[in-house]
Amino acid sequence: MQMTKKARTLAEAAMFALLGSALPSTLLAHGAVEVDNAPEHIMQASISQSAAIPGLSAVILDAPQPGILVSYRGSDVLTVEDTEGRGLLRFSPDGVLANRSSADWPGLSEARPGMVHSSTKDKAWVKVSATPSFGWLDPRLGVERGEGLWRIPVSTGSGAQSEIRGLLTRNPLPKEGHH
């Protein structure tokens, strides 16, 4: 599936923002830093099958904890299911809503602490994006899961069902002294 230039630009901007916030300032200013007990590998997520829903695109956000960015340009409401098969996110032309009663809500709210305002405490669904694109650290892409397949089910209000599928792989980091 081809990504639009705008979606690719959004994905790249989100990736650089995640990576930039993850790098210590000493690394940025003075080169590599000696680290004790550094991991020997990193986990990398990839998409092996995009969801078969027109208007939906997804990209992996590479970072120490992989994330996913979903954009949806369809006219119907798109729902992304959580790890328990319940609605986690709803995409529409008006933006993205997140389900506060979802099993995966704590991970979303920790990543974006400013999302919930006191005026929306009693609402199950809260707006998390004014555009139909949203990136998050999904637990199905979690490094603690180890290598293997992952899937994120999606459906539309008209009943179309599909899923975004991918793979988590372990990639070795370069050995010390091989610059």
* pLDDT one-digit tens code per residue, 109-168: 655 555 544 344 557 899 999 999 999 989 898 777 778 899 999 999 999 999 999 998
Place of tokens 């990136």: 135
Tell me the pTM.
Answer: 0.70
Give the pLDDT confidence score for residue 122 in this predicted structure.
55
Name the residue with higher pLDDT: 23 or 98.
98
pLDDT digits (tens, 9 = 90+) for 37-53: 666 777 789 999 888 99
Residue 68, pLDDT above cutoff 80: yes
Residue 170 neighbours by CB distance under 10 Å:
13
Place of tokens 């729902």: 79
CA distance 118 to 151: 33
For 94, 113, 141, 172, the CA distances from 169, given in Å and listed in that order, are 35, 30, 10, 10
Give the pLDDT confidence score for residue 173 in this predicted structure.
75
